[in-house]
Amino acid sequence: MGPLAGVRILEIAGIGPGPFAAMVLADMGADVLRVDRAERVDPNPGELPPGDLLNRGRRSVGLDLKNPDGIATLLTLVEQADALLEGFRPGVMERLGLGPDVCLERNPGLVYGRMTGWGQTGPLAHAAGHDINYIALAGTLHGIGRSGEKPLPPLNLVGDFGGGGMLLAFGIVAALFERSRSGRGQVVDAAMVDGAALLMTMMHGFRHAGFWSDERGTTLLDTGSHFYDTYETADGKYVSIGSIEPQFYQELLRLTGLEDEELPRQMERSAWGPLAGRLTEIFKSKTRDEWCEIMEGTDVCFAPVLSMGEAYEHPHNLARGTFVEVAGRLQPGPAPRFSRTPAEISRPPCHAGQHTDETLAEWGFSAEDIARLREKKAIA
């Protein structure tokens, strides 16, 4: 049983950061009920679970939220829930009659989590956008990339997940903790532009201290330095080096054969380019596996750059069980780890509406109620 066992959460089905937050909460043991649109429910879905791993660990009820009886059903569920999370543009839930004022009136202890890109307020609140736009406006994307080249989107990890879904999950848990003392729920406004900005806090500190430049690829951590970068190996693969501290840098010099040369000081920026050239030549002289034999496990701060498929098989990941297999699909396991209340993936992704009758019965609806709602096409 995970640390959130006994917590009931309603997830209004969406994409990206909302499902990620719900997945994390479900991994931690929360009973998350995904509310899917009735029109998405396939009466003959097949036996294999869907492939969207973000939907793991929870059950699904199919509701028609354009049907008054569907709305009434959801509000009945709200009365029994600890939290609700949704990822629509501002105003959509209000127009459905499911806004936070309505829901908190039905359940004053409800934590109402809202996931958007721009936030619930501000001049761009109602504009369309994606991860790349939110991290661009936050000043985050500008600093990612090499000198003289355009900014490089880091997949959609920073906005959607690190600065979005993860912070929504944290916000919901924080609000639930506060409720344990006050007895009152509240709204959690999680915006990806805010989260992406928050993740840059250390860099803002560097900027104020004069250690950060708005010129991309010229500072310590953005590929400007030769000792914090990736290098190609003889077999066309790559390794990563993060030898920031002096003792780690000395180990890098020793294992690359440079320690006996008369070199500029590590933090002499004018030498970073030429030294990067030297390391480029050196790392290309051996294969990635050969460099692993030399450097892995040392104080160089080294790791091979692995593909997802390779990461499954690395001995360290195997030893920790970083990846787990559920319903025949390898995937990242729950994180972090707990000593007494271990997190787990309770079930594979489910089909929309797969558990409608089962979950409604658990949440207090009678067989007659369920039959009536189905007759009125409020559920599927």
Burial call 103-124: b when 16+ CB within 10 Å, e when fewer = bbeebebbbbbbbbbbbeeeee
CA–CA gap between residue 182 and residue 42 (Å, rounded): 42
Q: Are the C-beta atoms of 228 and 220 separated by less than 8 Å?
A: yes
All residues at 6 or more sequence positions from 315 whose CB lies less than 8 Å from its CB, including other chains: none
- Residues in a beta bridge with 93: none
Q: Does the annotation count 208 as an active-site position?
A: no
* Catalytic option among 31, 64, 82, 160: 160
Q: Does the annotation count 130 as an active-site position?
A: yes
Query: Would you state the torsion angle of the CA atoms of residues 263, 266, 267, 270, taken in this order, to the nearest 10 degrees?
Result: 30
DSSP conformation letters of 246-293: HHHHHHHHHHTT-TTS----TT-GGGHHHHHHHHHHHHTTS-HHHHHH
All residues at 6 or more sequence positions from 34 whose CB lies less than 8 Å from its CB, including other chains: 11, 13, 22, 55, 58, 59, 60, 61, 350
| Encoded tokens for 370 | 């369920």
* Catalytic option among 69, 130, 289, 357: 130
Query: Would you state the torsion angle of the CA atoms of residues 220, 225, 230, 235, taken in this order, to the nearest 10 degrees?
Result: -170
Asked if the bond preceding 336 is cis, omega within 30° of 0, the reply is yes
Tokens 């030429």 found at:
274
Catalytically active residues are 130, 160
